[in-house]
Structures are given as structure tokens and as C-alpha cells.
Structure 1
């Protein structure tokens, strides 16, 4: 039986908890998430960065569950439906505001086709990208580590090198980074009949709770660097990005399916 691979993406879902930016009320959080300028940027990133990298996977046998709030305005929901209409792996799951980990764990476990069988899971932020062979390498890592898997109920797989990138009408600016156990390019194997999910754990602490296999090659992820990053709403260490030249942009396209011309078009408003 082919190992099931499930990805989970939270798209402006108004969870209780799960944000570094706090709000006094749920109404304030919903207003913040659905602010037209903010969500327009998230759509741009999802359309130009995140989804192309998944559409181009060399192993297309995976699922992507996109979690949204059940009160998402209709025009935003219609826009989301439209941009995933050509992606059979993706489906939208609407939920009312609930505690972050509780709802995500429930969604992941419900998505397992046969709970008695093991599966692979990954988290996916709507402004990130993974390399086009991420799913293929995740499956291979599980196969290569079969003896380890047989001894544990869960095992993490992490690719710790990638890029931070910023996008604009000028194109792509980026820098290479080493960032172990970040959200992007982190996967987890779960044994059959086990209720653990990748959402049980803070991503940067997952290696405290299970064996973890970390790969230094190849470059496997691109983390978005933009105005609406949750993590950038509080003081953080500055990141210095350099504009990509044509050769670097072409390498990015081949590795992550991020097309610099589409970036310029979308972020230039044309």
C-alpha cells in the first residue's frame, strides 16, 4: 500500500491561539485576518509562491487540506476556490474559531484513509514554498529509515537549508539560511493506530519528542518575508536580502517553481 501523504495549510484561519500577534477579541482577530490589504497579499503569495511549488511536485500523490474560517467572506472564498480549481490534491475545509492544535489534530486524523496504516504529514504556510521533489524525498526518507520507524510511533524528517525570500514588482530578493525544524520542509511519519499528528508539537521543538532525521542537502524550502508574516509583527532579527539576477531567478524557478515573471506581474498589479 502506498504511504499516504497529508499536508495541512492554515489560510487566514481565525484560530484560538496559534498566533504570535494577540488580539483582545475574536472579532478583532477576524478583522485583522480579513483586512483587504493583508489578505490580498496572502492571496498573491499563495498564488505565485506556495501553490506553484506543490503543483510541480515530482511525486503528485499527496493531499493538501486548506483550513479556513467558516465566516470567511464569500468573495475571498470564491477567489480561493478559483486558484485551486486546477489542483486535484487540494481541498478546502471550513471551521469556526476553535483552539488551534485541537482543530488541526482532528482534521489530520480524519483525513487518514486507513487509520490502521502509517502515514506521512507535513505543515505548509501559505507564503512558503518547498522544492519540487519534497514529497518524493519525504517518501524516500521514510523508506530508507524503515528500521528506525519500526521502533517508534513517530519520526520527524527535516531539511534544514533553504532560503528567505521577498517578492515585489522588481522580482525576487533572497538569501540562503540554515534553519532546522522550521515549518517548511518538515515532515513526520506516524505509525498506524496512533493519534499523534504533526500539529501536536511546536515545529521547532519536535525533536524533543521523537527521533528526528535531518538532511543538510539539498536546499528544500523558501520562507516568505513579507509585511503580514505573523512572526514579523513583533521585533525580530533583521534579514538582509539581495536581489536575484537572471541566473539565480532561473535556478529558483527550476528548484521551487517560482517564476520571476509571474512575481513581477502579480506584485506589480498587472
Structure 2
């Protein structure tokens, strides 16, 4: 069964952001500001990509959506970062309505629309466990009879960490959060054009059966200066620096290496 992920990397969509802008030009200026882009690249390099490179099941596709207006210097940097990842396909798009373009890209990525597939969203500053794709497939197999009766079904790995990344390394707190974007997957039936982008992640269970897996931490949600979903004064989470033992755990489970984080975020 094909597994398709979708990652939006500073794509200037029409809608889709909680930080509002009067014009698309203002949105591009915000997204492509030097300070923001530097943080996004540091998080992409040290948080998001390592866990994908180390997936125990490397048979997945990841659509990385960028704007066709992304400055060439950033496009070149992005190409360099993903050059060793055959699963990743860059898609440069003009500004379009957020959900419309994402749904089109997901449906266009299905190699065999007449067969079911699995989909997930992947934020460019988050991480999933290195066995996420494997467990997503295994769960779909375990639930085959249930899913066969549905046009779509959600698979929610609800246990993970909130984390902050900086020159001192990684600080984190364990949490259980239902239907978070990170490590939330969706089964899509054969022939259906529904996608994971048809639904708000926190309400996906209002529209389809869902299966919750809570046995182990499966994701790391980054809190940083430019979280779109946290710009409205969301409550802070009390994180603590990882111990040496926890640093080894994060490296083993998520592919996150505190030494690389410290080096990447070291003041320049």
C-alpha cells in the first residue's frame, strides 16, 4: 500500500495560515524573511529530515511543497539538503487556495488510484519516530476489516513530546495529544479522492472511524519562534533540558542528535 506524506515548506498559500496578511506579497515577505528562513532550515536539517532518512520502512513518498517564488538561494539550499532522499519530490506552486492545492498534489501523487493508500501530513519543524511508516502500514493491515467498510479512516499515534531546540540542545516534555498533526495518518479507500487535507486534523475523528495507538512516543512537536499555530498567545509548555540518557533515547527513537542541534543553533 502506497504511503504518501505532504510537507509544506514556506509555501505562500491563499489561506491556510493563522497569521493573516493583507496581500500575498506581504505573506511572501513574512515567509521569506531571513531570520525566519534561517530558523526553518535549522529545524528542517536537525529535526524533520533525520527521522525520515532513518525510517525502518523507507518505502514512502513525500511531497514537499514550495512556492514558485521561493528565492533561488533557498531553493538551492533545499535541493542540497534532500539530494540523498529519493522519497522526496519538490513541487513548486504559485499561490493557490491552501486546501485545494494540497488535495490536488496528494491525489496526483497516487500511483495506483484504484488501490487504497495511506497519507500523512508532516510539518517541516517536527519529527516522527523512525518506525512511523512501518507502524502506519502495520496498523492498516491489523485494521483491514474495519477499514474495508469505510471510505477513509484515521490512525492516530497520540503520544509524543513537545520540544524546543536551540544552542543548548533539546528541551522537551512528554505529552498525550489526540489528533495532533504529527504522526496522524489516514487510510484512503480505492477510488476515493478524499485526502488528509480534506479535514482539520483536530476534527478528523468527526468524519470517519479512527484508531488510536498510545503505547509509545511517536512524535516530537517543535515549539519555536515562528509556529503559525502558536502566534495567538497559546499557553507555553514547561519543557526541561534532556538528560544524557534522554538524548540517547531521542537519537534512537527519532534520529534527533542533541550535538547536531547545538552546533546548528550556535550563534554565528
What TM-score do you get using the length of structure 1 for normalisation? 0.98
> Once the two structures are superposed, what CA deviation does each residue of 1:101-151 show, in whole Å capped at 9, x if it has no partner?
000000000000011010000000000000000000000000000100110
Count of aligned pairs: 268
Correspondent of 1:143 among 141, 147, 153: 141
Identify the range of structure 1 (238-247 vs 204-213) with the bigger mean alpha-carbon deviation.
Answer: 238-247
Correspondent of 1:17 among 15, 18, 23: 15
How far apart, CA to CA, are the structure 2 residues paired with 1:155 and 1:67? 24
How far apart, CA to CA, are the structure 2 residues paired with 1:57 and 1:238? 30
How far apart, CA to CA, are the structure 2 residues paired with 1:173 and 1:115? 42
Where does residue 179 of structure 2 map in the other structure? 181
- Equivalent residues in 2 for 1:125-204, closer than 5 Å: 125-204=123-202
* Root mean square deviation, CA, Å: 0.7
Q: How big is the shift at 1:169? A: 1.1
Q: How big is the shift at 1:154? A: 0.6
Q: Structure 1 segments of 4 or more deviating over 2 A? A: none
Q: How big is the shift at 1:232? A: 2.0
Where does residue 220 of structure 2 map in the other structure? 222
Q: How big is the shift at 1:63? A: 0.6
Where does residue 242 of structure 1 map in the other structure? 240
Q: How big is the shift at 1:216? A: 1.0
What TM-score do you get using the length of structure 2 for normalisation? 0.99
Instruction: Name the SS for the 1:43 alignment partner.
Output: helix
Correspondent of 1:76 among 74, 86, 95: 74
Which runs of 5 or more structure 2 residues have no equivalent in the other structure? none
Where does residue 26 of structure 1 map in the other structure? 24
Where does residue 93 of structure 1 map in the other structure? 91
Where does residue 50 of structure 1 map in the other structure? 48
